[in-house]
Every structure is written in structure tokens, then in C-alpha cells.
Amino acid sequence: MRPRTVTLVAVSLAVSALTLGAVAQAADNQVGTWKLDLAKSKYSPGPPPKESTLKIEAQADGLKFTIDSIDAEGKAVHLEFSPKYDGKDYPMTGMAGADSISLKKVNDHTIEIINKKGGTPLITTKSVVSKDGKTRTSTQKGKNAKGQDVNNTAVYNRQ
């Protein structure tokens, strides 16, 4: 092959790889902006937040979460964390009692997140996106920072 042909083939392959990578990331059903539906959600122990918006973005081998909420007392809460789908612990700040988070992909519609303190699991969250992609249901079980049993179901609608 001539040098120009080799260069064109190399550029074409690079563009194809980048495009396929972007399509693979965009296909993650968790990705999107989600608004908490308080009427369909249940919090034990309560009280629930007054409102919450969850933004999930694709990143290399994982997800970036940005949560903006108004807690029960009316205080703004902002959380960000970026775990990979490898089940390893990643640092997390801003969540009461937890200092790290791990993430696993169960299937195309389900992920599992574990909040930990000093490596000890506190709360496990299983989040399932409906087949139509319009609803995300997160079920939380474990212990909160006060040692209370947590059994929450948070339902989010895609924005």
C-alpha cells in the first residue's frame, strides 16, 4: 500500500473505534437525568428528601453520578462520584457516614452500588431501569450513619 492509503485506513479505523466506543457508552440504560417521584417512593426510616435530581453520565468503564437534592430540612445537598463497573471501592464525599462506593453492572437494566465506611458495607442499592427506559427504581437496604435499618424504594422518572 502507498503511504497515503495506509494513513487513510488508519484514520478510518481510529474514527470507527471512537464512534463505536461512544455508541457503547450511550447505550447504557442508566445514563440520563432522573427526577425523584416522591408519590411513588417509600423511605424507612424517613423523612424523604423534598426533591432530588440525579444526573448519570457515561465514562470509561463506569458512570459519573451527580445528585442535587433538597433534604427534609430544606438544605441543599450536592453529591458527585465516579465509580467504574469493576466492583472496586472509589472515594465518595458528602454522604453521611460513607467514604467510598463500589459499582457493578448486573445486566443491561440493573446496577448494584454499595456505600461503605472504612471498607465496611453500609447500604446496598439495586437500581433497575424499566424496559421502556422511562422509570428507574432504586431499592436500598442496609444501615445508615445512625445505625438504623434502611429499607428505601426511590422511584425516578427520566427527564
Sequence letter at residue 141: K
Structural domain includes residue 114:
yes
Report DSSP letters for 76-132, one per residue.
EEEEEE--BTTS--EE--SSTT--EEEEEEEETTEEEEEEEETTEEEEEEEEEE-TT
The count of other CB atoms within 10 Å of the CB of residue 17 is: 10
Domain that holds residue 91: 30-158
Q: pLDDT band at residue 19, thresholds of 50, 70 and 90?
A: very low
Name the grid cell of 114.
454499595
Structural domain includes residue 11:
no
Structural domain includes residue 21:
no
**Span 76-83, average pLDDT:** 94
Structural domain includes residue 117:
yes
Compute the Cα dihedral for 62, 119, 155, 111 and give only its sign. positive
Q: What is the DSSP letter of 158?
A: E
Q: pLDDT band at residue 56, thresholds of 50, 70 and 90?
A: very high
Q: pLDDT band at residue 85, thresholds of 50, 70 and 90?
A: very high
Structural domain includes residue 14:
no
Structural domain includes residue 46:
yes
Q: Which CATH number is 151's domain given?
A: 2.40.128.20
